[in-house]
Structure 1
Amino acid sequence: MSVRFDLDPSVTPELRDGICSLWADVSNAGGAVGFVPPVTGEDIRPELIRHLAAMAEGRARLVVGRDADGTPLATAFLYENTHRLMRHWLWVYSVMVHPSLQGQGVGRALMAAVEDAARGTEGIRAIRLTCRGGTGADRFYASCGYKEVGRVPDAIKVGDDDYRDDVTMWHELH
């Protein structure tokens, strides 16, 4: 399947609802994107609205991958760091690829689009993100050029007696 990536698309009701649906699908398939299944779009909507508000305020950017019909299949939100000593790198949040497309190169294409967006932002030298340990996400990001620079053991609680590490990954833009 062909996926087209766009930076800073117009946020229409269709795009908003499509991202909300994508996020629920990823979460319910076990994806580590801030929720534990089962979830509905209504569970996710407040978090999505926070990202969209940050976009409207100029604090965040969106990379979205869509199919030929415009259905969102992959996303990542980029945030400029507001700390005056750390404005040379971006945070990346809510990296997701629809479960039906995982393992087909769409994730790598998404991360390449994120890197392109970061390179196009004046003064940005690196990208930082965190991921949930025990999911394999850290291995995926490492294969995309990120290196692990920190780990907080048991920082994420996903269930009774199920704690995961919070892994910080860093990618230098050369």
Structure 2
Amino acid sequence: MRTLAATRGTSLAALSAMLGRNAAYLQQFVTRGSPRTLDREDRRRLADFFGVDETVLGGAPVRRGFMVPRLDVAASAGAGAFVDGEIVVGADAIDPALAARLGLSEGQAGIIRVRGSSMEPGLLDGDLIVVDLSRRLPGVRGEVFVVRIDGTTMVKRVARGPTGPVATSDNADAPPLPDAPVEVIGRVVWLMRAPR
């Protein structure tokens, strides 16, 4: 703290006054360790003043979110969407504890938008879904996956069949799926929906 103050050409007493504290506040903190830690607001104001991270002044590291890329891909819950490639259009942070609970690994997840109504009522047109790209093996009971069928990216319920994955729509009124092999891209592990 003394080095930072000297660099800015100010004193600990002047900084204490800036914080609205008595003149000895920061001097006692530096020399006697009293208080043991700076008040959170005091630490924030000093970090802003010095242009440093609060950790330099004894603050705990800020818990960053688990970053998941948002892909310019629409997984159709309808007739299907053709995809030329996966283009990253940004990233969203999800809570690291949630990422751990979902079993996500860095670089193995993506966020994509649902299009269409074939997966209603569970997934609605416009919903954002988190897809775990490392999970590609469906069980016998069926789970929601992003798949590619005949070059078209879709979100469907997929079960393990005798000759490979079998995809179905949740909405009974949805049109039939193409009669082609199902390529599993990743399992849908989380739904991000704005209030309607």
Q: Greater CA radius of gyration, 1 or 2? A: 2
**TM score, norm. by length of structure 1:** 0.26
**TM score, norm. by length of structure 2:** 0.24
